[in-house]
Copies of this chain bind each other. A is one copy, B any other.
Amino acid sequence: MTTINDIAKLANVSRTTVSRVLNNNGYVSDEVRKRIMKIVEETGYIPSLSAKSLRTKKSGVIGVILPKISTETASRVVSGINEVVASENFQILLTDTELNKEKEIEYIRLLQSRHVDGIILLATNINDRLISTIEDAALPFISLGQDLPGVTSIVYDDYHASVDMTNMLIGQGHDKIAFIGVGEEDPSVGVERKKGYFDSLEKHQLLINDSWIQLGDFSIESGYECMKKIVKRNEDNLPTAVFVVTDRMAIGAMEYLREQGIRIPQDMAVAGIGASTLSQYVTPALTTIDYFNKEAGKKAAQLLLQQLKQKKEKEKFIQTYRLIKRDSV
C-alpha cells in the first residue's frame, strides 16, 4: 500500500504539503500541486480513511439500524437515506437487529465504536435502556417510526391514518368491520393503529366485537390464519369488511377469502396499510395507505446531515400519508 509518506518522498516534499494538495487546504504552488497530483495518479494512491478518521474524528459513514433488512419498507427507507447521504459522499453502514431489542443497543455501541458520524434507527419499540444508550452515544441521531424522547424523530401518523381508513369503510356503509393487528410491543403498528380503529368505531357508535379482532405477526401467513379464525368464528354472521394493519397480512387475508369463495369486495371489503408494490398488483387491487417511506428516509437523512453541521434541539416530524382507494373496497 502506498501511503502519504511514499507520495511525499517521490515528490520531494513533506507529507504536509501532500495533505494540503489532497484536501485543497492552505497554500500550495501550482507547480508542486501538479507534481504531486501526477504522482498520486501514477501510483494509484488511495488515502487511508481509517487514519483520517482517527485524526479528524469523522468517518463519512452513517450507521443505519434496521429491524429487518428484507422488507419492502426497509428497502425503501434505505434507498431514500442512501440517495441523500450519497450525494454528500457519505456511505451507509448497515445493521439488522432481526427485531431483537438487545441487538438494537449493541449496534448503537458498535456503530459508535466505528466512529460513524450519525445514526438513523428504524425504531420498533421504546425502552429506557435504548434511550439511555442513545444519550450516552452523544451522536447525531434520528429515530424513524417511533417518537423517542430526547431524539429527533420522524413518525408516521398511524393513528389518523387508521381513523381515516376506518371512517372510509364506515362511509361505504360497512358497520361490521373486522380487524387484524399486531401485538402491543410495537407502539406504532400495534397500539396506534388499533386505537384509531377503535376510536372511529366508537365515534360512529358501532359495535365492537371481540371475535372480529385477531393479532398476527406481520407475515403473510399470519394474515391468512387471522382471517381464517375470524371467518370460522363468525360463520353465521360474517363482518362485511376487514381492516388489516399491514399490506402483507392483508394479502394473506385475501388469499384465505379467495380460497373460501368469499368475494372481495362484494362479500368482504379488505383494506391494508403500507402501499406495497404487492398491494397494487394483487387482484383485486388492495386499498391501502401510502406512508411515503422513501421520502421518510430522505427526510431522516436530511435531518441527520443538518445535525452534523450544527447540533439541534429534539424535533418531532409527522410524515404525511395518503389513502389509496382501490378495488378491494
Contact = CB atoms under 8 A, between A and B. Distances in A.
A281 B115 contact: no
Interface stretch (A8-16, A75-83, A196-204): A75-83
A93 B91 contact: yes
Interface stretch (A24-32, A53-61, A120-128, A304-312): A53-61
Q: Contact residue range for chain A? A: 35 or more
A22 B282 CA distance: 54
A54 B70 CA distance: 33
A281 B79 contact: no
B46 A112 contact: yes
A95 B86 CA distance: 8
A294 B96 CA distance: 15
A136 interface: yes
Contacts of A51: 54
A23 interface: no
Contacts of A281: 220, 251, 255, 278, 281-282
Interface string A160-171: 000000000000
A260 to B, nearest CB: 15
A266 interface: no
A202 to B, nearest CB: 34
Given A49-B113, A91-B114, A277-B278, 11 more contacts: A46-B113, A48-B54, A48-B113, A50-B54, A50-B59, A50-B115, A72-B75, A78-B94, A82-B96, A91-B95, A92-B94
Interface of A: 44, 46-51, 53-54, 59, 61, 69-72, 74-76, 78-79, 82, 86, 91-96, 109-110, 112-115, 136, 220, 251, 255, 277-278, 281-283, 294
